[in-house]
Structure 1
Amino acid sequence: MKCFLAVVVLGVVLLGVNSKLSSPKVEVYSRNPGKYGVPNTLICHVSGFHPPDISITLLQDGVEIPDPKQSDLAFEQSWQFHLTKTVPFTPVDGKSYTCKVRHMQTVKTYTWEPDM
């Protein structure tokens, strides 16, 4: 009975939430100025999206970079969400570093640019 009541309450809350679709704003950057051959952290920060059906993948030359860390999904009072994914990397000249974001059925790729 408690489980059923919890589901009903959750449903009522979700119906009351402004469920307007909001596309994510994406920022791809490095923790320190991007220089080839210098260890750094690749960061992809995604914000302002709703609903929270999203995934973030960090890639080097189209291949997922192993062992990324992801923040907890968080939201603002407006019910727009934000999420950050990071991974250590050492930029190499000639390689591309990207953040692939899937929100609902839309997939877009964003490229990191070194500070050269």
Structure 2
Amino acid sequence: MRELICFTLFCLVFVTVQGKISTPKVQVYSHFPGEYGKDNTLICHVSGFHPPDITIDLLKNGEDIPNSQQTDLAFEKGWQFHLTKSVAFKPVKGEEYTCRVRHMKNQNNYAWGEFYVSVF
């Protein structure tokens, strides 16, 4: 029993030492080139972060977009994690689409904007 406790403590210390705090890298994009009034998918991919204390929200004009889907949390080499959240949407001129990412105590918004939309 003592060996099991020592092994568990060793694993916890090893994971803690190996996983240094890393801020997330965030990419906000759409599945297809943006066109107003056309069905599309808004995607927010967050990678390279540790620890895995993170929340991702997809927003339209500052309000949560319902029915979003999120992948399972996965890790990469060096105990850095990645996560993707997406939702079906139809871009409308003048509306703001953002990805809000909270990692630990830090929160930032990342925009998907008009420079992604074709007006033709």
With structure 1 as the length reference, what TM-score do the two structures score?
A: 0.90
Q: Which amino acid aligns with 1:87?
A: V
SS in 2 for 1:55: strand
CA distance in 1, matches of 2:75, 2:98: 24
The answer as to 2:16 corresponding to 1:14 is no
The answer as to 2:117 corresponding to 1:115 is yes
CA distance in 2, matches of 1:95, 1:101: 19
Whether the 8 Å contact between 2:19 and 2:78 is mirrored in structure 1 is: no
Alignment of 1:85-104 (within 5 A): 85-104=85-104
The answer as to 2:55 corresponding to 1:55 is yes
CA distance in 2, matches of 1:79, 1:19: 5
Q: Which amino acid aligns with 2:36?
A: Y
Q: How many Å apart are 1:78 and its aligned residue? A: 1.0
CA distance in 1, matches of 2:70, 2:12: 25
Deviates more, 1:86-95 or 1:11-20: 11-20
CA distance in 2, matches of 1:43, 1:88: 9
Gaps of 5+ in 2: none
The answer as to 2:74 corresponding to 1:74 is yes
Identity of aligned residues (%): 58
Q: Which amino acid aligns with 2:38?
A: V
Higher helix share: 2
The structure whose Rg is larger is 2
**What is the Cα-based RMSD across aligned positions, in Å?**
1.7
CA distance in 2, matches of 1:21, 1:28: 22
CA distance in 1, matches of 2:59, 2:44: 11
CA distance in 1, matches of 2:93, 2:12: 47
Gaps of 5+ in 1: none
CA distance in 1, matches of 2:87, 2:10: 38
